Structure 1
């Protein structure tokens, strides 16, 4: 969990709201989508997999390689694993050898993420990875008319992966093996999405897919608030902007220096009229709202994310 003195200072004076949706669902809602949106097709689009009409008309699911950890009487989704190409390609090839006759094809996107292409998306409610990470997977079981069939397919995937030589080599090196595939976000690519009014800065596959589907320009995230402000001034009049930063992009110290400390100063100087943060915390979202006047609430104590979660 993010350890950030600057964030704690912001949280201490902000208006806070807990959102039961995960961060991807909150982002998708900015484009007019509901919580059960086709994350697989949109992410595959942003990850460079929907290059022809046949691919755009297929069904897609996110198919994240994961490690399920055995607890006393259950399994927990312990880790999402991003594999190097030399491991990912042979594993996907073995899965495809087994499942292609059933109309299922596994693919890796430009980012290295895995996706499953289907002839028709299943009638299935499947929780997104972020919702289940670190939790008992029994609480996030498939539901819907096709749930039983897809539970069986996942069991087959688990058996194939368990026997794969690369997984055995990972365990021998003390690395977690890929012992399951987390399937989520089934559906077709939407024909068109409504574009939010803000300028959009992001580089992750889902954000890029949402932007493409909404024909919205999407720029890479600036490295610092100063660079962001300069970009806004160069590109036109001041306006609202939406920025997506992934957890693994900046370290906490870099995030403090590049964004959170300068944001505090900019609010105090009224260079920003308002700030809205959405922070993914344990499968939910902490929504944070700040105005310049909030920075003068000197009687409010800093609030860490740990304190918020335990409250």
Structure 2
């Protein structure tokens, strides 16, 4: 075992596990663990704790485009993913992103009437997958600070609308796209089949491909498309390794008992034998460090609950 090797579990915000029980063994182990200093919340900040990009920024559209097609270099990119936004009396909420169940045929049908809008605006739209849509940006395009869709899921849209002069143009384009998508005949069939309609686009991840991406992990496991693309640029293995540190992506998990049984308890069992430490990194900025030597802290109280 390398004295610096560690297993890091990337987890969602603790509130995602609200009301779920912690097993007695895990409650005791977390009570003995070191609580990490609170860090910046959000998935972007969470991943930036583990990946170093130069120049600084978060151009995830270019990064995933490179992973999807290998043609991102030398151009700016912006994700324009299909989403379902639910209107409400006092606003609207982002209810589905990345899990709409779109087929390639449906995606092409929705994209077809959008191409003239974005093409005329100078931002050609294309797709590398049914739910991964991209805008190619002209040089020196100025973008507002678009929030990540995963951070906005279930939230009030008003809290996530970008502001500033640059945002006006994008709000106008988004409104045009919403009208077309809302009236698209394919949505009638989706609603009849019990599927969420595609009624808007979510812009995010704008920028150019970074010059370099670094991380300190030998392998990355269970990653989504974004993390896989990052790991690929960093030259990190995507299969388990017998040496070095491991980053395990559990950000989409919502069942705490599954996290315990499939990941946390096996990770604890590997301490001393495989890893020197295990870190739980939650997307709200909180975390724990577990080490084998902490079993001497028998006098500490167990953790009663995860959510604050």
What is the TM-score when the length of structure 2 is the normalising length? 0.79
Gaps of 5+ in 2: 1-15
8 Å CA contact 1:59–1:119 kept in 2: the answer is yes
SS of structure 1 residue aligned to 2:52? coil
User: Cα offset for 1:271?
Assistant: 4.4
User: Cα offset for 1:154?
Assistant: 0.6
Gaps of 5+ in 1: 221-227, 233-237
- For these two proteins, the number of residue pairs brought into alignment is 282
Residue deviations 1:120-150, cap 9 Å, x none?
A: 4433111111221211111111134311111
User: Cα offset for 1:166?
Assistant: 1.1
Partners of 1:255 and 1:42 in 2: how far apart?
A: 28
SS of structure 2 residue aligned to 1:41? helix
Higher helix share goes to which structure?
1
The equivalent residue for 1:181 is 201
Residue deviations 1:252-300, cap 9 Å, x none?
A: 5554333222122233x564311112233xxx34322212233454443
What is the TM-score when the length of structure 1 is the normalising length? 0.78
The equivalent residue for 2:248 is 243
Note the 1:6-21 alignment, pairs <5 A: 9=27, 10-14=29-33, 15-21=35-41
Partners of 2:81 and 2:296 in 1: how far apart?
A: 44
Partners of 1:21 and 1:187 in 2: how far apart?
A: 22
Partners of 1:62 and 1:166 in 2: how far apart?
A: 22
Residue deviations 1:31-65, cap 9 Å, x none?
A: 3249851121112222x1333xxx42221112222
Structure 1 residues 11 and 160: alpha-carbon distance in aligned structure 2, compared to 1, 3 A threshold: farther
The equivalent residue for 1:224 is none
| C-alpha RMSD of the superposition | 2.9
Q: Which has the higher contact order (CA 8 A, sep 6+)?
A: 2
- Determine whether 1:210 maps to 2:196: no
Partners of 1:22 and 1:136 in 2: how far apart?
A: 16
8 Å CA contact 2:32–2:301 kept in 1: the answer is yes
The equivalent residue for 1:72 is 89
SS of structure 1 residue aligned to 2:212? coil
Of 258, 262, 282 in structure 2, the residue corresponding to residue 258 of structure 1 is: 262
